[in-house]
Structure 1
Amino acid sequence: MRLRLGSLSSSEVSSYPGRNENWAGVTDTGHSVFVKRLKGSPGESRKRYRRIVAFERLANGGARPFPRPEFLGGDEGHRLLVFRMLDDIRSGSELAAEKEFTESMSARAGRTLAALHRLPFREEDFPEPDPHPFPPVDDLRSLPLETYVHATGAFVQAWGLLQRDAALLEELERLRAAEDRAARVPVHGDLRLDQFLLADTAFHVNDWEEFRLGDPARDVGAYVGEWLHRAVLRIPAQETDDAFSAVLTHEEVVARGSEELARVLPLISAFHRGYREGGGPEDDGLVVRATSYAGWHLIDRLIASTRESGRLSAIVRAAAGIGRTALLDPRSFVRTVGLGEAS
């Protein structure tokens, strides 16, 4: 496909960290663009490309424009996608790190997610079954050899902890079964704060490689889990692996944990309020499943932290422990994580 946008000069482009190759800059014809090339195996990268295109097709058919970077075109064969570059953007993770993510922003994020979950669709828009790969219950029963061979020591250690946890595995299987029974809607599938981009006064949502039909509780829980994870990571006095055990006493850990949780709960509650105001689907069990997914998010962050690390961080293990507690008894923790009351 020829987009006639001109060329990018290699000396005047920027790139950002991530799992894909990307380039951002102004072409010689004056177009400000962000170009992404999907990495991965041919089959897997093709699926991710087609999910992005499927989202764009669905979003264009909505009653009102869905806020996201404008898609200008792509080339499936080369896994290339071109978007119009947003000016003066700040990601949600940047705002959160600087404590500038406000309750009104969180409510706006909730309304934005509700708009996604309300997008009208037809079954033919999703012609092939595409279940979400996480939580990977089968792998937690038996890790594939190729994954094991290429794993870090920290990954093997973390996976061993999870595989030996029979109660956790049972709850994850129950969560996947509950997802199968839930009414399916369009979901982001990999929602994190860094995928909310603030430009002017509007939130744009980015990165649609895991877009599919799914349980709306997955996205709600991921947002909640993001804030819980940040709250736990802020407990240590120093950013070192042993800060959790060596710097703080038990009483200090409890006090700081309570303080950090009190800081993020209003943001989660504002998000949930915005989600309901935006007409997000909310069946009787959604907040319970969302609490489970928030718990899984904390465990998933543990797994993600091990991919290039030789050992497990104590504070990340602590966060995963909190996630496990929420997963084992989600109904009792709905209010604790800021989602109101379980019905």
Structure 2
Amino acid sequence: MRIDPRLDDFLEAQGLGRHRPETAKELNGRNANFLVVTTTDTPVFVKRIATGSRDAAERHAACVAFEELRREDPAIQRTLGTAPLLASDADLGFLAYVALPGSTSLAELGRQPKDDADADEGDAGTRDPEDFAEDLGRLLAAVHALDPAGVPPRAEAPRLPPIQPLDHLTWESYQNLTAPCLRIWNRLQNDPDAAGTLRALRADEAYAVEQHPVAIHGDVRLDQFLLDREGRLRLIDLEEFRLGDPARDVGSMVGEWLHRATLDLVGEQDAVAAVADLELTHDEVVANGAAALDRRRPVIQRFFEAYRTSCGPDAAWVDDPAFVDRVTRFAGWHMFDRLIAVAEHTSRVSALHWAAAGIGRQALLAPRAAAPALGLPDHSDQRKAAA
């Protein structure tokens, strides 16, 4: 394991001491990530955003700005847990956070065998992600309540869902994508309704941001939430923090619950491998998927109601039918996003994952009809009245 030799200079300049080499542990991620204990006996999680990339400075600035804004408001700070930022260096790309030993991501929690999870006495008293639905709603509301004036600008809109591949793939993408990924993009390129709706979603999102920009996380997934030893949720990975449409965050979270409804058909353990080997007919997938969604709908309802209540009267967007439409469509896109993620790591995509993407497609194309089925507010009467 090779750690950047400039790390010790960075840590010492912040009064944290030098790292003890025998304690260093490398972690996975797009950046160089390490857990170390310093000579001052301080456990530190260190992330280095490689300088020189097009948006490296923006991603570093986003992480710093989030922590500064969170600390400015004591009420938000009490609700919005994270791994506190100890020190940063924009020139070197270093970010040093308080380490959270013993923490578990909600994604990992969801993959635990239920019997083992029940036997494992956690301080939170619960061992399933759905038990934290209300907490997740309140936490996202706190993010969206941060002062937008303090959010640094970004040169480009969020990367996903991508629009350019709906027309054609670049030669570089064509060479690097797996065969299952190529099939997915081929289907989307030959599905004018889905492709057109994704373009419309990005346009509607841009208009919403122009009218009322809100601080958003920008990359919400269950693995971005850590459960610490005390049972408190902590939001991490703030590199996509930006001014944006809150429907992106809320829709991604709804999409996570919708995706988990799909995994209910095979269990949580080694789900990718299990799904790849599972053969179900279309009718079986639809019937079983409907039952699984019935079980998850109350979770989405609790999540959204906690979010709506926590946002308060100043967040007028929450009761706007157009907001719920965008939430539903972002949830639908999330199913395609997870389909693509599976296709990057397997030789074939199962009928189950194609069917899950089909559910996402329906949410994209008919959000007003899909919303109540997902546990979101029913605004279908407004559409009929407008007609």
Fold-level similarity (TM above 0.5): yes
Alpha-carbon distance in 1 for matches of 2:166, 2:158: 15
Q: Which protein, 1 or 2, shows the higher relative CO under an 8 Å CA cutoff with sep ≥ 6?
A: 1
Instruction: Report if aligned partners of 1:130, 1:212 keep a CA contact under 8 Å in 2.
Output: no
Distance 1:210 1:128 in 2: 9
Contact 1:103–1:266, Cα closer than 8 Å, also in 2: no
Task: Report the number of matched residues.
Answer: 340
Task: State the partner residue of 1:310.
Answer: 347
- 2:124 aligns with none
2:201 corresponds to 1:187: no
Q: Specify the alignment match of 1:300 in structure 2.
A: 337
CA apart distance, 1:40: 8.2
Q: Secondary structure at the match of 2:30?
A: coil
Aligned equivalent of 1:320? 357
Q: Distance in 2 between matches of 1:208 and 1:63?
A: 20
SS in 2 for 1:335: helix
In structure 2, relative to structure 1, the CA distance for the partners of 1:314 and 1:36 (3 Å cut) is: farther
- Report if the CA contact (8 A) 1:58-1:121 is conserved: no
Q: Secondary structure at the match of 2:100?
A: coil
Amino acid of the structure 2 residue aligned with 1:126 = P
What displacement does 1:91 show?
1.4
Tell me whether 1:288 sits opposite 2:318 in the alignment. no
User: Counterpart in 2 of 1:340?
Assistant: 377
Cα offset, 1:119, TM superposition: 1.1
What is the one-letter code of the residue matched to 2:199?
Answer: E
Residues 97 and 40 (structure 1), Cα distance of their counterparts in 2 relative to 1, 3 Å cut: farther
Determine helix, strand or coil for the equivalent of 1:73.
strand
1:221-240 aligned within 5 A? 221-236=251-266, 239-240=273-274
Would you tell me which structure has more helix in proportion to its own residues?
2
Structure 1 unmatched ranges of 5 or more:
none
Alpha-carbon distance in structure 2 between the residues aligned to 1:143 and 1:187: 29
Which has the greater radius of gyration?
2
**Structure 2 match to 1:266:** 298
- Is the 1:229–1:298 Cα contact (8 Å) retained in structure 2? yes
Q: Does 1:149 align with 2:175?
A: yes
Asked if 1 retains the 8 angstrom alpha-carbon contact of 2:166 and 2:185, the reply is yes
Deviations 1:164-186 (A, max 9, x none): 11111110111111112212201
Encode CA deviations 1:193-220: one digit per residue, 9 max, x unaligned. Answer: 1111122132110001111111101100
Q: In structure 2, do the counterparts of structure 1 residues 240 and 203 end up closer, same or farther at CA, with 3 Å as the change threshold?
A: closer
**CA offset digits 1:231-264 (Å, max 9, x no partner):** 112324784355442xx45554344323321222
* Aligned-pair CA distance for 1:151: 1.8
In structure 2, relative to structure 1, the CA distance for the partners of 1:241 and 1:104 (3 Å cut) is closer
Aligned match of 1:275:
307
The answer to whether structure 1 residue 120 and structure 2 residue 131 are counterparts is: no
Q: With structure 2 as the length reference, what TM-score do the two structures score? A: 0.81
**1:78 correspondence with 2:92:** yes
Say if 1:11 and 1:217 are closer, same or farther in 2 by CA, change over 3 A.
same
Distance 1:251 1:308, change over 3 A: closer
Between 320-329 and 35-44, the greater mean CA deviation after superposition: 35-44
Map of 1:159 onto structure 2:
185
What's the offset of the Cα at 1:83?
A: 0.2
Residue of structure 2 equivalent to 1:93: 107
Q: Which residue, 231, 235, 249 being the options, matches 1:201?
A: 231
